[in-house]
Every structure is written in structure tokens, then in C-alpha cells.
């Protein structure tokens, strides 16, 4: 039984969110997205010449994405370096963004995306994807839509939105975590992973609660981008 959340949130309530773009002056586009105690900073460079050359595609651009948790992002210092988890998350971010960006407009070019987790409390791949998508929009890349991403899941008999690390670790209740990424206005899913076990019916409910959260995140992303461009027109 999981009748009350550890942090007292409603089951369909997101953690507190902060979002801003234009946070890295030397990048072509950048964003910071914070949800609860998870924070991601993304910087986008390009389109630029593809290096190494053998990654070049004659009919479309390529995305080179690197996700990294900085050593002080969790309480036990992380061993610096690129491990298998970083590789996997970099790949899922790349795949999701390939569905959002019109890569066919940049043949023989490369878009480089660096995402750093400065604080981690679960949901880092979702926060990274949301930050990376805002950074791509900030860089002026043509996109089908922004990506809004959040994890949802099941703890005990309850379907929950935006799990914390403490909730993910509730093994007695059996926590299931499903990171989801949406193109909200297209109603398309661009990221869906599953850590745990759920029935098909429950998975549908988890995706539905995830969509409610993603729609709220989408509004916050759009507001952050609007703020940036209205500030620019004033200066």
C-alpha cells in the first residue's frame, strides 16, 4: 500500500519546476531545467561540420549527444568518466531528438548537445531530454515540436507522477518507473522505457498520467522561451 507520498504530493502532482533558456553564453542554444532536486543544463552547438567525418550523412544532419552526471550531483561522489549508463542515456536522448528536429534540413552537418546533471534525484534522463529540447529551440533549430519529458510509474497500487529517488527505491511496495517523452502538440511518444513490472492496463494509466505532467511541462518550456525572446527584443 502506498496511500500517501513520502513528500506529501498528490499522486498526479509534479515537483516544483524551474526552467530558463540562454544560460550558457558560449553555446548556440542552452537551457536549465530543474524539477524537484533534479537539475539538467543543456548546451547546443551547430549545425557545424561533422567530426569525425565518417559519421557524416549525405541526406541529413546527425546529432552527437553526451549526457553526464557531474561528480557532486549525488551524495556519494560519482567516478568521473563516461560509463554504460551515460552511453545509454545519451543514445535515448539522441533518438528522441531525432524525431523532433528536422534533420533533413542539415545534410552533412552535426548538432552537438552536451547535457550535465548538476543535481540528481531520479528522472535525470527526462530532465535532460526536456532541457536539451529547450536548448535546441533556443538555438533556433527547426523542430516539429518541443519535447516534454517526465517519469511516471506505480508504487504499491498507486499510479504516480514524477517519482523521487526515495520513491524509486521503495522496493517493499514494488516501485515501477517509466520515463516518457512526448511531442505534446502532436500527441506522439518519443521516449518510453520501463524499469519494473506492470500490466498493460496499468501502463496505459501511467502513460496517461505522464501526458498530464508533460502538458504542464510543455507550457513551462514555452513560457521560458517566450521570456527569453521578449527580453531580447527589449534590449
Q: Using CB under 6 A, which of 17, 42, 113, 120 touches ligand ADP?
A: 120
**Contact assessment for residue 69 and residue 38, using Cβ atoms and an 8 Å cutoff:** no
When asked if residue 121 is in the footprint of ligand ADP (CB under 6 A), the reply is: yes
β-partners of residue 18 are 34
**Contact assessment for residue 19 and residue 220, using Cβ atoms and an 8 Å cutoff:** yes
CA distances from 139 to 30, 103, 164 (A): 7, 14, 31
> Binding segment for ligand ADP among 23-31, 49-57, 108-116, 118-126 (CB under 6 A)?
118-126
Q: Using CB under 6 A, which of 49, 51, 72, 85 touches ligand ADP?
A: 85
Minimum distance, C-beta of residue 102 to ligand ADP, in the bound complex (Å): 27
Q: Using CB under 6 A, which of 115, 122, 148, 191 touches ligand ADP?
A: 122
When asked if residue 68 is in the footprint of ligand ADP (CB under 6 A), the reply is: no
Minimum distance, C-beta of residue 121 to ligand ADP, in the bound complex (Å): 5
Q: For residues 28 and 73, which CB has a smaller minimum distance to ligand ADP in the complex? A: 73
Minimum distance, C-beta of residue 98 to ligand ADP, in the bound complex (Å): 19
Q: Of 234, 235, 221, which is closest to residue 29 (Cα–Cα)?
A: 221
> Binding segment for ligand ADP among 57-65, 119-127, 130-138, 198-206 (CB under 6 A)?
119-127
- DSSP string for 72-119: GGSSSPPPPS--HHHHHHHHHHHHHHHHHB-GGGSTTEEEEEEEEEEE
What is the grid cell recorded at 114?
552536451
**Contact assessment for residue 147 and residue 130, using Cβ atoms and an 8 Å cutoff:** yes
Minimum distance, C-beta of residue 96 to ligand ADP, in the bound complex (Å): 13
Backbone angles phi, psi at 216, to 5 degrees: -70, -40
> Binding segment for ligand ADP among 14-22, 40-48, 117-125, 152-160 (CB under 6 A)?
117-125
Number of residues this chain uses to bind ligand ADP (CB under 6 A): 12
Q: Using CB under 6 A, which of 124, 130, 133, 176 touches ligand ADP?
A: 124
**Contact assessment for residue 204 and residue 178, using Cβ atoms and an 8 Å cutoff:** no
Residues that bind ligand ADP (CB under 6 A): 74, 76, 78, 85, 120-125, 165, 179
Amino acid at each position: 500500500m502506498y496511500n500517501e507520498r513520502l513528500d506529501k504530493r498528490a499522486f498526479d502532482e509534479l515537483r516544483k519546476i524551474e526552467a530558463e533558456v540562454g544560460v550558457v553564453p558560449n553555446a548556440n542554444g542552452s537551457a536549465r531545467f530543474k524539477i524537484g532536486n533534479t537539475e539538467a543544463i543543456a548546451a547546443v552547438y551547430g549545425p557545424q561540420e561533422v567530426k569525425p567525418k565518417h559519421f557524416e550523412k549525405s541526406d541529413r544532419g546527425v546529432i552527437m549527444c553526451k549526457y553526464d552526471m557531474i561528480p557532486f550531483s549525488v551524495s556519494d561522489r560519482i567516478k568521473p568518466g563516461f560509463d554504460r549508463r551515460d552511453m545509454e542515456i545519451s543514445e535515448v536522448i539522441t533518438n528522441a531528438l531525432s524525431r523532433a528536429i528536422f534533420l533533413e534540413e542539415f545534410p552533412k552537418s552535426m548538432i552537438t548537445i552536451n547535457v550535465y546533471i548538476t543535481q540528481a534525484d531520479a528522472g535525470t534522463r527526462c530532465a535532460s531530454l526536456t532541457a536539451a529540447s529547450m536548448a535546441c529551440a533556443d538555438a533556433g533549430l527547426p523542430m516539429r515540436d518541443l519535447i516534454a519529458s517526465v517519469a511516471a510509474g506505480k508504487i504499491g497500487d498507486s499510479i504516480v507522477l514524477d517519482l523521487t529517488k526515495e520513491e524509486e527505491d521503495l522496493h517493499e511496495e514494488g516501485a515501477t518507473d517509466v520515463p516518457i517523452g512526448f511531442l505534446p502538440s502532436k500527441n506522439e511518444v518519443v521516449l518510453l522505457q520501463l524499469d519494473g513490472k506492470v500490466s498493460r492496463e496499468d501502463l496505459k494509466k501511467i502513460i496517461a498520467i505522464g501526458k498530464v505532467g508533460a502538458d504542464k511541462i510543455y507550457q513551462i518550456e514555452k513560457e521560458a522561451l517566450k521570456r527569453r525572446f521578449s527580453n531580447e527584443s527589449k534590449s
